[in-house]
Amino acid sequence: MKNVAVIGSGTMGNGIAHVFAQKGYKVALIDISQSALDKGVATITKNLDRMIAKEKISEADKSATLGNITTFTDMKEGVKDVQLVVEAATENVDLKLKIFRDLSEATSDDVILASNTSSISITQIAAVTNRPDKVIGMHFMNPVPVMKLVEIIRGYSTSDEVTNLIMETSKKLGKVPVEVNDYPGFVANRILMPMINEAIITLHEGVAGVEEIDTVMKLGMAHPMGPLQLADFIGLDVCLAIMNVLYEGFGNPKYAPCPLLVNMVTAGKRGVKSGEGFYSWTHGTKDLIVSDNFKK
Ligand SMILES: NC(=O)c1ccc[n+]([C@@H]2O[C@H](COP(=O)([O-])OP(=O)(O)OC[C@H]3O[C@@H](n4cnc5c(N)ncnc54)[C@H](O)[C@@H]3O)[C@@H](O)[C@H]2O)c1
């Protein structure tokens, strides 16, 4: 496997393109938006410069990495001659099903189709293609160049051969792959999101304030950041969408999203990306200032 296409040049897509290109794969980075592609390449360049400053790579590594990436706004053009596609487009079921239907037509039968989805069923995505045995989840973590884990999700029909190949490919990227089966939230979000939701319920019930909850989890459980701060980073809309996947997927009330989370998303308070969530981010992401709504 030498040629890879990455669909979506946002937060995750540019990171995925970066790690493949740095390991010598030829990468076609595809997005419907030219400005997203430009921003993606600018982010990769900035991250490579940071690695040079830390003396982790040389200038030559940087040019080789950037030289391995070609951008496309036309998906059919971009996926010509690739052996693997990693889809990292916006988290929306209908959009992903359309992309996989199109990929099924645009690529030959032996091309492996992977998705970086955080929560959508790989089995459902695979079912719209002509090769469900070659569809698999490759769930990278953010920021991709830094985080070691790749959660490898086997859909109902994913073959052993494809799973093994993707496990090996992830290792070649310097990552640690972990194989899991396709059930709502996989493993990462099935455990993480209910913890975040429970932190929001704890706040909603007035058990403790924002800083107190985050401090308990940081200093008591050695988490690098508290669950409410993490929710702001992930995006409260994303947290809500994943809780709904768990709630609907298992039909179990223990996964019901906290009404406070629902209210905040409805009010447009989505965390860092909207400037406010549990904390106020209008001053940047360095200092933690509790949002006025949660000040005592
Ligand atoms: N952000 C995270 O922390 C994180 C972590 C793990 C997995 N994920 C998953 O990764 C995927 C991407 O998330 P993101 O945070 O990078 O989103 P993002 O919004 O930053 O980027 C999505 C990109 O997809 C592009 N896009 C939309 N439709 C497209 C199409 N038809 N063809 C090509 N490109 C298209 C958009 O223009 C945008 O540039 C989602 O499935 C998400 O669940 C995200």
Q: Is 271 exposed, middle or buried (0-12, 13-18, 19+ CB in 10 A)?
A: buried
Q: What atom in ligand 1 is closest to the CA of residue 33?
A: 37
pLDDT tens, residue by residue, 279-296: 999 988 888 999 999 987
Q: Is 151 a catalytic residue?
A: yes
Burial label for 20, CB within 10 Å (0-12, 13-18, 19+), is buried
The model's pLDDT over 56-92, given as tens digits with 9 standing for 90+, comes to 999 999 999 999 999 999 999 999 999 999 999 998 9
> What would the pLDDT profile of 12-49 be if each residue is shown by its tens digit?
999 999 999 999 999 999 999 999 999 999 999 999 99
Per-residue pLDDT reduced to its tens digit, 118-138: 999 999 999 999 999 999 999
Residue nearest to atom 2 of ligand 1 (CA): 142
Distances (CA, A) of 170 to 16, 79, 143, 197: 11, 20, 15, 30
- How many Å lie between the centroid of ligand 1 and the Cα of residue 87? 8
Residues linked to residue 6 through DSSP beta bridges, in sequence order = 29, 86
- Pairing, β 135-140 against β 149-154: antiparallel
The 8-class DSSP code of residue 143 comes to S
Asked if 203 and 228 count as a contact pair (C-beta separation under 8 A), the reply is yes
Residue 8 CA to ligand 1 centre (angstroms)? 6
The number of the ligand 1 atom at minimal distance from the alpha carbon of 140 is 6
pLDDT above 90 for 214: yes
212 CA to middle of ligand 1, Å? 33
- How far is residue 228's CA from residue 234's CA, in Å, rounded to a whole number? 10
Q: How confident is the model at residue 186 (pLDDT cuts 50, 70, 90)?
A: very high
Q: What pTM did the predictor assign?
A: 0.93
Count CA atoms within 13 Å of residue 90 on its CB side: 9
d(C-alpha 199, C-alpha 193), whole Å = 10
Query: Tell me, what's the pLDDT at 296?
Result: 76
Nearest atom in ligand 1 to 95's CA = 31
